[in-house]
Amino acid sequence: MGAFAPIIATIITVALILVIALIVRNIAKRLITRVVSSASTGSSITGRFRRSGAATEGIDALLNERRKQRAETMGSVLKHISSVVIMGTAVLTVLDRLTIPIAPLLTSVGILGVAIGFGAQELVKDFIAGMFMLLEDQYGVGDVIDAGAAVGTVEAVTLRVTRLRDADGRVWYVRNGTITRVGNESQGWSRAYLDVPVAWNTDVTTVRAILEHVAEEIWADADFRETLIVQEPDVFGVEQLSDSSLVFRISAKTLPAKQAQVARELRLRVKTALDSAGIPMVATA
């Protein structure tokens, strides 16, 4: 029995190392899950739009969903990394306990890692860019973005590629490492604006009053105030002057990516109001 004592002790030690590694991995996963849960439920950052009721709730819902997606993706990556580190350390410890030389193994792994790193530089670049993109919340699924190589609606985001669908229905796969700048039309809020050109001799006060009435009217419309517009439209007055026309501008803050729909409604209402007042619109150069 004494001859088997070292073997039994080694088996017990190896078993303890593996059990401790599994326990530590489970604890790490629980902590990551708790952090992810906390990060996915944050306070609203749309306090500036408190007057708009359901529109504010719409913005908060979108931001919360984006925050949840980002947190879950990062949580998945962190869980994978923690598992690899913990179990890898446990395996190396077990090998050392079994008196198996790990120095050559570590050297081989290091050389292999360097070789893979040189051969997969673009892949590593894509993954690092994807990590920072998720951490900084540059864009998410459903956003309309200009990624340089393509412009469209984001349909999927991974650590390696971003999938976009443009206005023609064409699907683009853009590697994250190739995106050097992003224009996001869907974060927080958007702006719809309309330039209204009228004749030079048109009474400025009358046109301004008509546009202000249109702004008040669309703001009072529950179909827009509750679902599309987050702040009462502004009339900026005369935006441009030329020898043949005056250009007024009306602007409204909207829910993300809803500016086109609001702008179409503004065009319709402004045209109808000017026609009723007998004020023609003129072409601008």
> How does pLDDT run across 208-228, given as a tens digit for each residue?
999 999 999 999 988 888 678
Q: Which fold has domain 190-277?
A: Alpha-Beta Plaits (3.30.70)
| pLDDT above 90 as % of the chain | 23
pTM for this predicted structure: 0.57
Q: Between these two residues, 177 and 131, which has the higher pLDDT value?
A: 177
Q: Is 281 exposed, middle or buried (0-12, 13-18, 19+ CB in 10 A)?
A: middle
Residues ≥6 apart with Cβ < 8 Å to 74:
36, 39, 131, 134, 135
Domain-by-domain residue ranges, the chain? Answer: 2-119, 137-184, 190-277
- Per-residue pLDDT of 232-266, as tens digits, reads 899 987 888 887 889 999 999 888 878 888 999 99
Q: What is the mean pLDDT of the chain?
A: 81
Domain spanning 137-184, CATH class: mainly beta
pLDDT attached to residue 263: 92
Give per-residue pLDDT as tens, 78-126.
Answer: 888 888 889 888 888 888 787 777 777 667 767 766 666 666 778 888 8
Residue 218 makes CB contacts below 8 A (sequence gap 6+) with 224, 225, 229, 233, 252, 262, 265, 266, 269
The total number of residues written for the chain in this structure? 285
- Contacts of 75 by beta carbon, 8 Å cutoff, 6+ apart: 32, 33, 35, 36
